[in-house]
Structure 1
């Protein structure tokens, strides 16, 4: 389904949701204190407004509330709205009542109750109104387009399959034009040779032409493109490279020369990389000062009491651009000769009792915040592997080394999706690599915050793959 206004309606949903949220907060304030002047001049109220708005943004991003706003049916729409609201309430309670504290900004429990209930009620009513509009005016929201494909080779047939498997995209494929009729295998879809293409397009009010001819037919391609421009028909070229790149790509231009990158890399942007580094420094300092500083002596004493050996386990691991670095952890095993060769397994006899607890809760990773501070690692990124594993799996998995375009992380997209612990098979490692590459291609600051939150949540509830 091609939505002419998909981005517009996504923006409308987000804007109205924030309007409803802030109106609910103001209304709750006025219910408890009807002085408008006090509300406007209350500077202690503004940080709470910021917290509410940021937490709603985080909650919506985690649940994917604003993705495909026009494609969801009513049940799915309300399910994701309800999930987002529950997550929002949970995070508000944790942040306001535990982290910030009610006294810090004079926010009472009554205010929290009124604002949250008002927001939930108004949000539900707004979504009902939007669903009614969407249902009654669905034809306006859909943009069905008549299209043809020129060239019935592999690229053209794969495009035909895509249109067939995605009917809600709204592409009405009328057929193929090709100089070899036998190349069109589906009965009724052959419309003629390329010489008669434009005549058919004009007679049947075709909206778009998808040209899947090989580059060797560049004279035909140029002729069709010029004719399409003259007759206000949108002309799109399906390049041949897609036959050996089986994924979305990133296109940029050097002058009039199109350059195709086989993957987008948001962290190649210096601004994004700088923002991530600043967050890493501030977050690691926070953890080191407020958590590691008092937890370290306790864990150090317990580790020493249970088994002889150093407090820290230091291992050479693969870093960004495959440069090795010393990775720090709290020692969770008895000192052994296989630590640099053999992965930890479930019920591994080398793991100490306190080590089992540290690994289960991921507290053994805390010293890696010093790696983050030094710049060897990031808070979020692909987990660093032993040098021997990098050498082994780089020979077995084609895209294994791609994950080394990024700094390794204390946690990552693979870990919060259960892809952690022992990798018994190459297929298990392949899943982890795919998750790491997905993170590289889809990085955003909000995604990092989401992963950190999910890591904390998994540590609290327990992860069966953490051992």
Structure 2
């Protein structure tokens, strides 16, 4: 990291934002209620404090407000603050006015106005102050380390090119040591491997990156020991690495094992919380949405065309195990349902079916799939068996998405990668989004995807047909 205090500054930003939020709520309470001590003991007020704080955390995570706080320019900073604030206001109004209700906790619309207005004003002033401080002290926060590379070749060259093109990593590479200099630029070559330690000591070098092959084990071990003796950090770059993306290193005792991708849901605790959320959320939807919509939609589907209410299709699940996926029937009964994707203007889609697909209501029965455990609320969308077989031969990473349970919605869907896949490139983009989700899963990411799914349904999606 080029900024030694990056994590600290991020924590300060978050802490001050929360302080401003809570001060704004207290001031609004004092203005509206005109009491100066009682708010501390007001049991009706404290739950609203919790709601405000949790919703700000959710909003900031959705917009990624606290990422790269030292690198964003003033325009991007204020744009991020504005987006987060508007999302926060929207969620607060929806939660307090519609879901919780103002009467339950004696919260008035006047209080909401004062609290949100003061928070927005104070937040804007604080960000202005932060940008002014950052502008003057950014150079002070920079901590570039001097380093050398031991070992030329492909790995050493790749490392040098990456570090020099990414100065935010905080390193200055002084040159490269190798016993063979034929592939190294003269301006970078510093000498043979045995000369490295003396050069490092003479030039106050902080770190050594060793990219020598495994066949040079004795040289590597000697370098490592000499670096420790002279209080120099030594970092070993593996001889083989996945060239297209970051890898994940685990330690089996003293043996490093490189995984080609991180998988947060391989952690048992993460899987437990995701499953718990799946059950609670699915039960909520089934009891409070599906229960009253089912008879209405059933009648509409029956009146639209002859056939069953539900459409059941065998699809590919986790570990490529087939399962029965439930949907409300949106098409006329036809022989091509297991082979042919729905297309724009598809004659098979009924009038009520078009509405169901546009609003995603055809997916409601899949919450029963979630309860049964063969689907999850958020994950890669399940494909027909024919498409799994077909695309697994065309796209190298296609089967990786089957490490996860298929979902009712997913990262690909909220990014517009849904509907008909006319070309292999269309499916490749969808697969890349699914693999990204597998590698970057978090509970907050799931909440973000669910929110974006509802928002997309309200706003309308051109690819929903």
- Shorter-chain TM-score: which interval? over 0.9
**Aligned counterpart, 1:399:** 397
How far did residue 76 of structure 1 move?
1.3
- The runs of at least 4 aligned residues of structure 1 exceeding 6 Å deviation read none
Is 1:84 matched up with 2:110? no
How far did residue 81 of structure 1 move?
1.0
How far did residue 187 of structure 1 move?
4.3
**Aligned counterpart, 1:416:** 414
CA deviation profile, 1:290-314 (whole Å, cap 9, x unmatched): 1111111111111111100001100
**Aligned counterpart, 1:313:** 311
**Aligned counterpart, 1:198:** 197
Farther off after superposition, 449-458 or 31-40 = 31-40
Is 1:246 matched up with 2:234? no
> 1:129, 1:232 → 2: CA distance?
40
- SS at structure 1 position matched to 2:87: helix
How far did residue 163 of structure 1 move?
1.4
- SS at structure 2 position matched to 1:329: strand
Match of 2:333 among 332, 335, 343: 335
How far did residue 87 of structure 1 move?
1.0
How far did residue 73 of structure 1 move?
1.4
**Aligned counterpart, 2:3:** 3
Is 1:63 matched up with 2:101? no
Counterpart contact for 1:318–1:386, Cα < 8 Å:
yes
Counterpart contact for 1:2–1:142, Cα < 8 Å:
yes
How far did residue 237 of structure 1 move?
0.9
CA deviation profile, 1:305-348 (whole Å, cap 9, x unmatched): 11000011000011111111110001000000000011111111
Is 1:117 matched up with 2:110? no
Counterpart contact for 1:163–1:169, Cα < 8 Å:
yes
Is 1:381 matched up with 2:379? yes
> 1:67, 1:154 → 2: CA distance?
32
Give the structure-2-normalised TM-score.
0.98
**Aligned counterpart, 2:346:** 348
Farther off after superposition, 430-439 or 32-41 = 32-41
How far did residue 245 of structure 1 move?
4.6
How far did residue 461 of structure 1 move?
0.5
> 1:138, 1:308 → 2: CA distance?
69
- SS at structure 2 position matched to 1:105: coil
- SS at structure 1 position matched to 2:147: strand
- SS at structure 2 position matched to 1:36: coil
Show the 5 A alignment for 1:252-267: 252-267=250-265
> 2:314, 2:448 → 1: CA distance?
29
> 2:180, 2:192 → 1: CA distance?
7
> 1:140, 1:231 → 2: CA distance?
27
How far did residue 107 of structure 1 move?
0.8
Give the structure-1-normalised TM-score.
0.98
**Aligned counterpart, 1:154:** 154
> 1:331, 1:92 → 2: CA distance?
36
- SS at structure 1 position matched to 2:235: strand
**Aligned counterpart, 1:362:** 360
Is 1:452 matched up with 2:450? yes
CA deviation profile, 1:25-66 (whole Å, cap 9, x unmatched): 111101112323431221111221111111111111111111
> 1:130, 1:219 → 2: CA distance?
51
Question: Number of residues paired by the alignment?
Answer: 465
How far did residue 183 of structure 1 move?
1.2
Is 1:22 matched up with 2:26? no
Counterpart contact for 2:145–2:172, Cα < 8 Å:
yes
- RMSD value over aligned CA atoms? 1.2
**Aligned counterpart, 2:219:** 220
> 1:409, 1:168 → 2: CA distance?
37
> 1:37, 1:386 → 2: CA distance?
63
Unaligned 5+ segments in structure 2 are none
How far did residue 125 of structure 1 move?
1.6
How far did residue 170 of structure 1 move?
2.5
- SS at structure 2 position matched to 1:43: coil
How far did residue 414 of structure 1 move?
0.6
> 2:175, 2:295 → 1: CA distance?
73
Counterpart contact for 1:245–1:262, Cα < 8 Å:
no
- SS at structure 1 position matched to 2:344: coil
- SS at structure 2 position matched to 1:11: helix
- SS at structure 2 position matched to 1:315: strand
How far did residue 5 of structure 1 move?
1.2
> 2:385, 2:413 → 1: CA distance?
20
How far did residue 385 of structure 1 move?
0.6
- SS at structure 2 position matched to 1:179: coil
> 2:212, 2:351 → 1: CA distance?
65
**Aligned counterpart, 1:53:** 53
Show the 5 A alignment for 1:143-182: 143-182=143-182
**Aligned counterpart, 1:229:** 228
Counterpart contact for 1:304–1:310, Cα < 8 Å:
yes
Counterpart contact for 2:227–2:234, Cα < 8 Å:
yes
> 2:37, 2:138 → 1: CA distance?
44
Counterpart contact for 1:421–1:465, Cα < 8 Å:
yes
**Aligned counterpart, 2:432:** 434
Counterpart contact for 2:164–2:172, Cα < 8 Å:
no
Counterpart contact for 2:210–2:237, Cα < 8 Å:
yes
